[in-house]
Amino acid sequence: MKKIILFLTMCLMTFPVKADEGMWFLMFIERLNHRDMEKMGLQLTAEEIYSINNHSLKDAVVQFNGGCTAEIVSREGLVLTNHHCGYGAIAELSSEEQNYLKNGFWAKDKSEEMKPKSLYVRFFVRMDDVSKRILSKVNDKMTETERNKAIQQEMALIEKENNEGGKYTVSVRPFFEGNEYYYFVYQDYKDVRLVGTPPESLGKFGGDTDNWEWPRHTADFSMFRVYADANGNPAEYSKDNVPLQPKHHLPVSLKGVEENDFAMILGYPGRTNRWMPAGGIEQNVKFAYPAWVEGAKTGMDRMKVYMDANEKVNLDYASKYASTANYWKNRQGMIDALTKAGTAATKAKEETKFNAWANKRANKAKYGNVIATINNYYSQNNLKTTHDNYLTQLIRTATYGAAPANIGNTLIAYYKENEAKRQEMLPRVTQYIDGVYGKFHAPLEKDVFTAQLNLYSSKAAAYGLPESVAKLKEENKGDFTSYVNDAVAKSIFATKESVFAFMKDPKPENIANDPLYVVSNDLMTKIRAKSDAQLKADDDFAKAFRSLVEGLRESKMNSIKYPDANSTLRLTYGKVRALPVDKRNDAKVNNYTTMTGLVKKYKAGDPEFDLPARVLELNEAKDFGQYADKNGYMPVNFLTDNDITGGNSGSPVLNGKGELVGIAFDGNIEAMAGDVIFDAKLQRTISVDIRYVLWIIDKYAGAKHIVDEMTIVK
């Protein structure tokens, strides 16, 4: 029997299946993609996916808090997204006594749903092409500064024309490196409340070890609800607000998925760089990403010491740590994948061909110097990009890196104003200071700041350090421990309390000599500083890169018809598709995982692989209810070959009828080069099977009332 299963699996793997590259604009689906999608299994019209005048799928897909995607799954504004997307909000609502990250949370009714301080969802209303209008305002004789000014002015006019007096948020965005422009109209809802979340032991099962890996067994989901005023309009939080009645919500399918089933994902992918030149790829692999990885790991390691020792600190820093860890592993995966794939060499070959075409008589004036300009730019910026990535990780992981400068400069400006103006500014200044120190543990911050200064001053010195940092390095032989201890003991900016104490008896002249402010201000000045030569090089590069993309499209040497991702709504389509047989996965076909595999990974007490006792009990009893697969197992995660990236986290995975079958949450580390070059053989999207989501809500949590709210398709 095992031999038959293996044979069938290999047949599935060798059968010619094409992964569909592309993150497509919805307004072009009918013209560019609909026929192909129908052949693959789509049963919806283009109008049912994107319509301005009628409800469509796009009305059920929202951008979640600016960085993820989510979907509406009930007539009362119920929202599904990833656990890691809701992580910050869940941590904010948690306390040592009520730790919802650790223990989970399920509102028994709407009165128990909880509002985080800051959380919003963004609905997409419509989009349109304004390329001709904007590009008519520029010409080749303009400098980049003049060009950008003309474009920004026209963008502002377009945004004002379409926001209907402030009802909508309008964003005009460049595509194809500034060769095309589109505007997007959105509507934001700010009253979003937590409905439910599994405990971390399920929602983050596998932790950093399994992150970006397959096979996965993670319940990466959380649930929220959108509220509106009585007329369905966006409103600030109020007890009088009511659940939003959306234009469209997604039906939820219990039918499951099989190899070669059509799969469609709508979401807000954050950033791809499919047009990036070879020099940029090589720079990232050899200079930028190694510095990012080392800097991020330094910050994580110091944070973890204090988080493990104190539950309140763990909650306060959980979101910051998780975000740092996610990109730390992502960047290392990018280094490995881009190196293994030889992506820079592939791009270099394309650019060699382009350069030959560009230097033909008809093209030379416009494109002849493009490749030389681009290559020269990267070669001259390797040291800078190494420096900037070490410094960026210092600033991101150590509050003392940026906060003293930012707060200090805010206070300097504040004290220059007259008394009336200060009274007007005071609430904003106070709120800003509260926000900076809202989740702050001074011993942790001292340790992270010390470690990051030691690393930065050692690894980034070749580019040149800020004067104060270079002096302290020499005086302390590269060890900033004494400086940090002494500076924190004396500084206005050591804690929130010390800042407010200063404001009660201010001596503004003391800010400039504050020991934390001096270093922080020098660091922030350094990261922002650009010489006239650097500014000119940046302008020359921007023009050359724009011309490269234009020339590659004109010459048809690059046939990409979709623009790079930039957090605008896109559609990607493909199929459920297995990876080669993997002995770590108990599934018969390596395109899904099961609860059997989940329990096999279980390690009691392990922070990454522990499981709630109830999950073990339900699995032992095979109590899977209506959520079991027709073959008897309990599904957990599955694979498709959709083209996604960061920002697609939480995106709905839909079948050919537009029914929800899963929630996308990750990619596979073998395809980390996918942000730069699509690999049809390796590219996979990892999703939570919606049946596992519903099983946890119903069977594990006993919150069947939430399932009953959805439109279930059996």
Dihedral sign computed on CA atoms, order 200, 205, 210, 215: negative
Least trusted range by pLDDT, from 6-10, 75-79, 211-215, 320-324: 6-10
Domain at 2-120+190-273+563-713, CATH from 2.130.10.30, 3.90.550.10, 2.40.10.120, 3.30.390.50: 2.40.10.120
* Cα distances (angstroms) measured from residue 105 to each of 75, 121, 200, 401: 22, 21, 11, 35
For the cut 60, the answer to whether the pLDDT of residue 10 exceeds it is no
> Could you tell me if 656 and 41 are in contact, meaning their C-beta atoms sit under 8 angstroms apart?
yes
Mean of the pLDDT values across residues 254-274?
A: 97
- HEC sequence for 12-55: HHHCCCCCCCCCECHHHHHHHCHHHHHHHCCCCCHHHHCCCCCC
Number of C-alpha atoms within 13 angstroms, CB side, residue 157?
10
For the cut 70, the answer to whether the pLDDT of residue 8 exceeds it is no
> Which tokens go with 659?
């029914």
- DSSP string covering 126-179, please? EEEE-HHHHHTT--TTS-HHHHHHHHHHHHHHHHHHHSTTTTSEEEEEEETTTT
How high is the pLDDT of residue 1? Answer: 38
Q: List every span in the chain annotated with CATH 2.40.10.120.
A: 2-120+190-273+563-713
Catalytic residue among 20, 59, 191, 220: 220
395-429: pLDDT as tens digits: 999 999 999 999 999 999 999 999 999 999 999 99
How high is the pLDDT of residue 16? Answer: 39
Least trusted range by pLDDT, from 107-111, 436-440, 458-462, 515-519: 436-440
Dihedral-angle region of residue 208 (phi above 0 means left; psi in -120 to 50 means alpha; beta otherwise): alpha
CA–CA distance, 615 with 597 (Å, rounded to integer) = 13
Nearest to 602 by CA among 308, 203, 202, 291: 202
88-125: pLDDT as tens digits: 999 999 999 999 999 999 999 999 999 999 999 999 99
DSSP one-letter code for 621:
T
Helices (DSSP H) in 364-466: which residue ranges? 364-367, 370-380, 382-397, 399-416, 419-436, 442-459
Mean of the pLDDT values across residues 277-285?
A: 97
End-to-end, the C-alpha distance of the chain in Å comes to: 30
> Which tokens go with 66?
């600016």
How high is the pLDDT of residue 19? Answer: 59
165-189: pLDDT as tens digits: 999 999 999 999 999 999 999 999 9
> Which tokens go with 264?
């469609």
- DSSP string covering 672-701, please? GGGGTS--TTT--EEEEEHHHHHHIIIIIT
How does the average pLDDT of the chain come out, rounded? 95
Q: Is the peptide bond before 515 cis (omega within 30 degrees of 0)?
A: no
> Which tokens go with 463?
């580019």
Nearest to 669 by CA among 200, 347, 68, 216: 216
CA–CA distance, 643 with 104 (Å, rounded to integer) = 31
> Could you tell me if 609 and 205 are in contact, meaning their C-beta atoms sit under 8 angstroms apart?
yes
How high is the pLDDT of residue 559? Answer: 82
Mean of the pLDDT values across residues 139-162?
A: 96
For the cut 80, the answer to whether the pLDDT of residue 300 exceeds it is yes
579-610: pLDDT as tens digits: 999 999 999 999 999 999 999 999 999 999 99
Catalytic residue among 649, 675, 687, 689: 649
3-state secondary structure of 704: helix
CA–CA distance, 48 with 218 (Å, rounded to integer) = 31
> Could you tell me if 639 and 661 are in contact, meaning their C-beta atoms sit under 8 angstroms apart?
no
Mean of the pLDDT values across residues 303-324?
A: 94
> Which tokens go with 688?
């939570």
211-250: pLDDT as tens digits: 999 999 999 999 999 999 999 999 999 999 999 999 999 9
β-pair partners for 562: none
Place of tokens 């944070």: 303
Mean of the pLDDT values across residues 5-21?
A: 46
3-state secondary structure of 664: strand
For the cut 60, the answer to whether the pLDDT of residue 12 exceeds it is no
Whether residue 649 lies in the annotated active site: yes
- 549 CB contacts (<8 Å, ≥6 apart)? 176, 177, 179, 275
The pLDDT-based confidence of 20 (bands split at 50, 70, 90) is confident
Phi and psi dihedrals of 110, rounded to 5?
Answer: -65, -25
The pLDDT-based confidence of 555 (bands split at 50, 70, 90) is very high
Catalytic residue among 83, 84, 217, 387: 84
Mean of the pLDDT values across residues 3-12?
A: 37
